Amino acid sequence: MRTKEDKGTLISPHLSLSSFEMGRDDVNVVCTYGKISIWFGRQVPDIIIGQMLLGISRIDQSAVHELEVICDFDDITDYESNGYVLVSYARSKEGYRTTFNIPFSSRKALFALASSITRELKNEDTVVDCYWTGDDSDIMRLYEELSSIEGWKIKNINYKEDVKEKHYD
C-alpha cells in the first residue's frame, strides 16, 4: 500500500495493481482492471461530474456504465434517443425492466448520465460503476487526465499480493 505522490514512481513497474484509489473530499474513484467505481458526494459541483465522465471517455472510449431502469415501454425510446443502448427488457408488474449500456464513446449519452447523476445527488450520495478494459498504464493515464481537477490526489495504491510475493523471492 502506498500513498506517496511522486509522479515518476507512482506505480511500481515490477508489481501488478490490485486497485488504485484517487479523488478529493467530494469524489472518490477506485480503479481495478475491469471496473472504475466512482462515489459522488452530494456537494460535488456539476462541472466535476462532467470532467470525470469526459476524462474516462478520453482514456477508454469502450468503457460503459450499465443502467437498470423500470419504465413504460414508450420511455425506452427516450433513453435510446439520449444515446443509451438497450441491452435487454422484460415486462414486469411495475412496467418494463430494462438494462441499458451508456457508452463513453457517446458525448450525448455522457451528458444525459451527468444530468441523471446531478438529479440523484439532490437526495443522496451516488455511486457509478463503469466497466472498462484498463490496465496499469490506463490507470496512470486516467490519474494524469483527472489530476487537473482542483484538489485531486492519490488516496491509496494496492498491489496484488501474489505478485508481490513472487517479486521478493
How many CB atoms are located within 10 Å of the residue 22 CB? Answer: 21
**pLDDT tens profile 107-160:** 999 999 999 999 999 999 999 999 999 998 999 999 999 999 999 999 999 988
The cell numbers describing 53, all together, are: 465522465
DSSP helix/strand/coil, 41: coil
Domain range list for the chain? 18-63+104-167, 67-101
pTM score, whole prediction: 0.86
**pLDDT tens profile 85-114:** 999 999 999 999 999 999 999 999 999 999
Please, what's the b/e burial string for 44-78 (b: 16 or more CB within 10 A of its CB; e: otherwise)? Answer: beeebbbbbbebbbebbeebbbebebeeeeeebee
Cβ–Cβ < 8 Å for 21, 106: no
**pLDDT tens profile 16-45:** 888 999 999 999 999 999 999 999 999 999
